């Protein structure tokens, strides 16, 4: 899977998308075949998929966390299934946030593990069975909408309201993981995150099919200490621009910006350069929670570096705030129907 989205993916189709069109058609054909012929294993617990249509940057992980928090408040015992982008485990692995590092399990699983057990595995069905054995009774699939390994009872598609689906082309000419017309039949609802018109086409398509369309926004949590600070903001995520806006929303004044590839692991010289540049300019450093867990490798050096960085955490605010309970309720209803059907 592509880890860094080329900027032209998020603009109107141009000569680069046209040049790559034959490869995009081939990719789309393979993706369609996988979706149509997938043999999805059913497991003995409700499965809620929080996925997206494109490569990275939609904000699905904070959404998945918010749903897990709500599930716990409803008396459920949620557990996460994650592929663990960039991880090194070849068999299902239960994340230990005290010992595991991002290079072994990926960055997102470490954030998820703050809220519920996380099983990192390419084989989602095998991971689901292990979570159930450990007492989880509500499973949240973080990403994996296009996975052919597991049946999900409810699929929530998260779309960034500003960027939408970019130029509308499939990989490698655009950010779509499969053609929109091939993916949408498997979605149960769409969640547009943020403000903008980029997701309007997806929203209209969902509405025409009678699928619920929800809205939410993501906001910085209090406590980052960034308000009123002049900062060098850096991020290695799918949409760094979104993070830079978050820093400004939190009251920080961005003087310098540094963008790195999605899921980037920072070398010592890169950290030294960031610290040195900020020091010379009299700036504070600010980054995302995902970047922070990738930076920390257990060493004293990375711990010391992070002591001088503002880590900006975010959460998801639904409008109305009953949406998470509605989504979880719909997942439970679908699971009960599945059980009755045998």
pLDDT digits (tens, 9 = 90+) for 95-118: 999 999 999 999 999 999 999 999
Q: What SS3 state is found at 141?
A: strand
The bridge status of strand 213-220 relative to strand 189-193 is parallel
Whether the bond into 336 is cis, omega within 30 of 0:
no
pLDDT digits (tens, 9 = 90+) for 27-71: 999 999 988 887 889 999 999 999 999 987 788 999 999 999 999
pLDDT digits (tens, 9 = 90+) for 205-256: 999 999 999 999 999 988 788 999 999 999 999 889 999 999 999 999 999 9
Copy the structure tokens of residue 341: 């059907």
More confident: 319 or 84? 319
Q: Which residues of 260-287 are buried (b: 16+ CB within 10 A; e: fewer)?
A: bebbbbbeeebbeebbeebeeeebbbbb
d(CA 56, CA 68): 20
What distances in angstroms separate CA 106 from CA 95, 141, 175, 185, 255, one per listed residue?
A: 10, 15, 21, 30, 30
Copy the structure tokens of residue 132: 């159930």
Task: Please enumerate in sequence order all residues whose Cβ is within 8 A of that of 62, keeping only pairs 6 or more positions apart, or say none.
Answer: 218, 314, 315, 316
Whether the bond into 320 is cis, omega within 30 of 0:
yes
Domain range list for the chain: 7-218+317-341, 222-312
Copy the structure tokens of residue 76: 């459920």
Q: What is the CATH number of domain 7-218+317-341?
A: 3.40.50
Q: What is the pLDDT of residue 148?
A: 66
* Domain at 222-312, CATH class: alpha beta
CA pseudo-torsion sign 264, 265, 267, 271:
positive
Q: What is the pLDDT of residue 86?
A: 64
Inform me whether the pLDDT recorded for 4 exceeds 90: no
Segment (H or E) for 315:
strand 314-319
Percent of the chain with pLDDT over 70: 98
Q: For all residues of the chain together, what is the average pLDDT?
A: 93
Percent of the chain with pLDDT over 90: 85
φ, ψ for residue 175, nearest 5 deg: -90, -10
* CB 195 within 8 Å of CB 217: yes
Q: What is the mean pLDDT of residues 152-159?
A: 96
Q: What is the pLDDT of residue 5?
A: 78
């Amino acid at each position: 899977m592509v880890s860094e989205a080329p900027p032209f993916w998020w603009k109107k189709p141009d000569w680069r998308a046209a040049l790559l069109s034959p490869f995009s058609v081939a990719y789309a054909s393979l993706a369609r075949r996988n979706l149509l012929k997938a043999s999805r294993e059913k497991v003995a617990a409700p499965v809620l998929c929080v996925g997206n249509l494109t490569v990275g940057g939609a904000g699905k992980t904070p959404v998945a966390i918010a749903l897990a928090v709500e599930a716990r408040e409803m008396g459920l015992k949620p557990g996460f299934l994650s592929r663990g982008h960039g991880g090194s485990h070849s068999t299902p692995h239960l994340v230990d946030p005290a010992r595991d590092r991002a290079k072994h399990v990926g960055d997102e699983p470490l954030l998820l593990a703050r809220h519920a057990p996380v099983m990192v595995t390419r084989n989602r069905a095998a991971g689901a069975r292990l979570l159930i054995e450990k007492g989880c009774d509500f499973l949240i699939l973080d990403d994996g909408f296009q996975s052919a390994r597991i049946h999900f009872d409810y699929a929530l598609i998260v779309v960034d309201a500003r960027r939408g689906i970019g130029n509308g082309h499939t990989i490698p000419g655009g950010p779509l993981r499969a053609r929109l017309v091939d993916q949408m039949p498997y979605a149960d609802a769409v969640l547009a995150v943020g403000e903008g018109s980029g997701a309007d086409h997806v929203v209209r398509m969902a509405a025409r099919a009678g699928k619920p369309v929800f809205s939410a926004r993501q906001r910085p949590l209090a406590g980052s200490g960034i308000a009123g600070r002049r900062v060098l903001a850096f991020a290695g995520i799918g949409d760094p621009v979104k993070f830079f806006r978050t820093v400004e929303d939190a009251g920080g004044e961005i003087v310098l910006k540094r963008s790195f590839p999605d899921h980037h692991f920072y070398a010592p010289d890169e950290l030294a350069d960031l610290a040195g540049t900020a020091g010379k300019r009299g700036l504070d450093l600010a980054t995302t929670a995902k970047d922070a867990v990738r930076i920390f490798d257990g060493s004293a050096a990375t711990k010391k570096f992070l002591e001088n960085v503002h880590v900006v955490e975010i959460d998801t605010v639904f409008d109305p705030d009953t949406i998470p309970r509605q989504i979880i309720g719909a997942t439970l209803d679908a699971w009960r129907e599945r059980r009755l059907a045998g």
